[in-house]
């Protein structure tokens, strides 16, 4: 199971955009940015249950997220941008001013 890798795509969600008015320190914003979405079949393949915590690990670092099933394509996960995703990013911005945040190969480890 530990050998299975996933592709992580991280970006801002529409809900995240509306929560910015509430503030980045609100419970709702923190809960959103500490969650990840992956397909139910992928969750089952690594023994991850709905609502369970999982560690997502990149070559740069790791962070813990609460898992939810969703309509992600097989082999992909989605995590909204936030402080936890910053722990996963390297420092290279490719000249854009923002670190690369899409297409990372990651390990997902149920907690």
pTM of the model: 0.81
Q: How many domains does the chain have?
A: 1
Q: Which of 4-18, 30-44, 72-86, 88-102 has the lowest mean pLDDT?
A: 88-102
Q: What domain range is 13 assigned to? A: 5-110
pLDDT (tens digit per residue) in 20-59: 667 677 788 788 889 999 999 999 999 999 999 999 999 8
Question: Average of pLDDT values for 15-23?
Answer: 66
pLDDT(16) > 70: no
Cβ atoms 77, 8 nearer than 8 A: yes
* CATH number of 80's domain: 2.40.40.20
pLDDT recorded at residue 14: 60
DSSP string, 47-105: T--TT-EEEEE-SS-EEEEEEEE-SPPTTEEEEESSHHHHTT--S--TTSSS---EEEE
Q: What are phi and psi of 7, to 5 degrees?
A: -100, 125
Helix, strand or coil, per DSSP, at residue 17: helix
pLDDT (tens digit per residue) in 60-81: 899 999 999 999 999 999 999 8
Question: Average of pLDDT values for 8-22?
Answer: 70
How far CA 64 is from CA of 33, 95, 109, in Å, comes to 11, 29, 9
């Amino acid at each position: 199971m530990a050998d299975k890798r996933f592709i992580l795509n991280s970006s801002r969600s529409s809900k995240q955009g509306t929560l910015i008015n509430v503030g980045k320190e609100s419970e709702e914003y923190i809960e959103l940015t500490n969650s990840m979405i992956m397909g139910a079949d992928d969750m089952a393949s690594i023994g991850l249950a709905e609502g369970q915590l999982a560690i997502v690990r990149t070559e740069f670092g790791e962070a813990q997220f609460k898992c939810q099933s969703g309509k992600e394509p097989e082999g992909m996960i989605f995590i909204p941008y936030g402080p936890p995703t910053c722990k996963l990013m390297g420092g290279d911005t490719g000249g854009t001013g923002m670190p690369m945040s899409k297409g990372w190969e990651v390990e997902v480890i149920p907690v």
